[in-house]
Amino acid sequence: MALKIYHEFIRAAPAAEAMEFLFAELRDVMFCIKDRQGRYLCANKAFLLRVGLDKMKDLVGKNTREVFPHSLAINFEEQDLEVFRQGTSISNRLDVATNPDRSLGWYISDKVPVRGLKREIIAVASTTRDLRMKVDVDTEMALIVNFVNLMRERFAEPIRISTLAEEAGIPLRKLERRMRSIMSISPRQLLTRIRVEAAAERLRNSQDSLSEITYRFGFCDQPTFCRQFKNLTGMTASEYRRSFQS
C-alpha cells in the first residue's frame, strides 16, 4: 500500500523525485512531502530519525497525528492547510518539533506547494532546520517565540518593535541579534514580510483597493506598501492581482 501511494504521487509530480534525491542524505535538515489527505508520501533519513522510524515504508501513508504528539500535529496541519488554501509558500516559520531523543526543540520550517502535471496543488513539501536548542532549557528562545506570536497577532496595528519586545520580555538589542543569527532577518523585516503576506492574500481573494489594503495591514502609506510588496514578491501589487485574476 505504501509503495502504491508513493509511486502514484511520483507519476503525478515527477519533479518531486529530484527534490527527494537532493535532501536524502542531509543530516541537519528534515524533509518530507504530504498529500492533501495529510498522508506522508516520502521523507529523508533525518526526518525518519526525528520521529523514531527506521524505514520509509513505516512512514508512508501515515498522517501527522500518527507521527507527532497531538499538540504539535495540530500546528503542522494548520500550516499545511494554509499552503493548500493560499497556494503560496511559508518561509522561516519558528516551530517546536521532536528531537531524536523525543525531547522538544526549536526548528525553522519552510513549506512549498507541490504541483501536478496540470499545475494543480497536490501536495506540500517541507524542510525543517534544527536550531539545536531544547525548549525546556532555552528560556530566551521561548521569549523570541512569544515575540513572533505577538507580531502575528498584531501586525495590522501601528505597532512599535520596541513595544512588542518589551511585552514579550526580551531586550530589543538581544532580540535583534538572536533573530538575525537564527532567521537571517531583523524583527522589522519579519513584520514587513508578515504584512506583505497578508496583503497578498487580500489581493488574491478580494476586490479591495490598494489604498484599503495599505491601511488594513498597517502600512504607513500606499507608496511604502507598493515598494515593499515589489521588493519581496518581484511584482507590483497590481501585477500580482492581475496574475491571479487571469
Q: How far apart are CA 140 and CA 178, in angstroms?
A: 9
Q: 34 has which bridge partners?
A: 40, 124
Burial class (CB in 10 A: 0-12, 13-18, 19+), 88: middle
List Cβ<8 Å contacts ≥24 apart for 234-238: 237/199, 237/203, 237/210, 237/213, 238/210
Q: What is the pLDDT of residue 69?
A: 73
Q: How far apart are CA 71 and CA 63, in angstroms?
A: 14
Asked if residue 212 lies in contact with residue 237, where contact means CB atoms within 8 angstroms, the answer is no
The sign of the torsion formed by the CA atoms of 229, 233, 239, 245 equals negative
Q: Coil, helix or strand for 44?
A: coil
Render pLDDT for 50-97 as a digit per residue (tens, 0 to 9): 888 989 889 999 999 898 877 678 778 888 998 998 888 888 887 766
Helix (H) or strand (E) holding 69: none
Ranges under pLDDT 50 in the chain: none
Asked if residue 201 lies in contact with residue 233, where contact means CB atoms within 8 angstroms, the answer is no
With left for phi above 0 and alpha for psi between -120 and 50, is residue 212 left, alpha or beta?
alpha
Q: How far apart are CA 114 and CA 42, in angstroms?
A: 13
Chain centre to alpha carbon of residue 83: 8
Render pLDDT for 135-146 as a digit per residue (tens, 0 to 9): 555 567 778 878
Q: How far apart are CA 29 and CA 44, in angstroms?
A: 9
Q: What is the pLDDT of residue 133?
A: 58
Which residues lie below 8 Å from residue 3, measured CB to CB, with a gap of 6+? 57, 60
